[in-house]
Chain A
Amino acid sequence: MKSRFTLPPDERILQLMADRATEGLSHSDALELDRYLEQSPGVDRDALEYAAAAVCLSFNAGRGEALPSGVREKILSQATR
């Protein structure tokens, strides 16, 4: 795995990335973040969402539930259509 990642220097943009990773963004905030990220191709746009995913994995450890068979069949059917 890459040992470095690039984040924007702007605190406002970092906060928008953190907000997106936790409670989601309003339409206007999402547009603002998208505009910034489009102009900043070097930024790791998903970095904080990956971190949030890791938080989920950690606290969810040992709590995995079996996917209901009906849901599994629907997913499989959609995938192989």
Chain B
Amino acid sequence: MPQTLLEQVASGDVAAVQQCIDRYGGLVWSLARRLVPRQADAEDAVQEVFIALWKSAERFDPSVAEETTFVAMIARRRFIDWRRRLARRIDGTQSIPIEEVDVASAASNHDNVDVRDEAARAADAITQLRLEQQEVLRLAVYDGWSHQRIADHLQMPLGTVKTHVRRGLIRLRELLTSPGAATGKEATS
């Protein structure tokens, strides 16, 4: 079976490192621009993501997740750490002055085919979640809102927001790891 890019990186293949940056650089950068408030911080955070990726490449297991999802997970982990560190530095709270990112004008679809395929599979699965789970997950995960901010915005008890997040993520993982994942079944949770 051919090695994945990360498996090649783990084996010390320098060309694979470059390919990895080219394949996933756009994805990681666009996520950084959404989740890390300032451009300078986003640049530093993206470098941290790739350092973390090189270190964790040998832990990548294609039987657990697609490579694109693994990269996005490592990236999110670093960005969440960044946001929390930044919040502590600013005022000791979780509030961060977010520079509103004009994503619509910045986006120019530099996704490669692997990223597009995995995104489409994830999108299919998400449409099978309940609508309120979809909305809460989008705000909590993609927009990076705190659970409290979501509760205030949607006028929903905080506990309900947390339940939607928890059940939505569990259901999504079930859908994405089921044989024939993300095709046609209705979510029950």
A64 within 8 A of B: yes
Query: In the complex, which of the residues A3, A54, A61 contacts B69, with contact meaning CB atoms closer than 8 Å?
Result: A54
Whether B28 lies near A55 (C-beta < 8 A) is no
A58 within 8 A of B: yes
A67 and B31 CA atoms in complex are apart in Å by 11
The 6 closest A-B CB pairs, nearest first, are A67-B25, A64-B111, A53-B72, A54-B122, A61-B119, A53-B73
A residues with a Cβ closer than 8 A to B are: 1-5, 7, 14-15, 18-24, 44, 46-68, 70-72, 74-76, 78-80
Query: In the complex, which of the residues B31, B43, B68, B69 contacts A71, with contact meaning CB atoms closer than 8 Å?
Result: B43
Nearest-Cβ distance from residue A13 to partner chain B, whole angstroms: 11
B90 within 8 A of A: no
Whether A71 lies near B26 (C-beta < 8 A) is no
Whether B17 lies near A68 (C-beta < 8 A) is no
How many chain B residues touch A (Cβ–Cβ < 8 Å)? Answer: 74
* Given A51-B169, A56-B141, A58-B122: A80 and B110 interface contact (C-beta under 8 Å): no
B14 within 8 A of A: yes
Residue of B nearest to A22 (CB): B140
Determine the chain B residues whose CB is within 8 A of the CB of A59 once the complex forms: 138, 141-142
B81 within 8 A of A: yes
B188 within 8 A of A: no
Whether B119 lies near A65 (C-beta < 8 A) is no
B166 within 8 A of A: yes
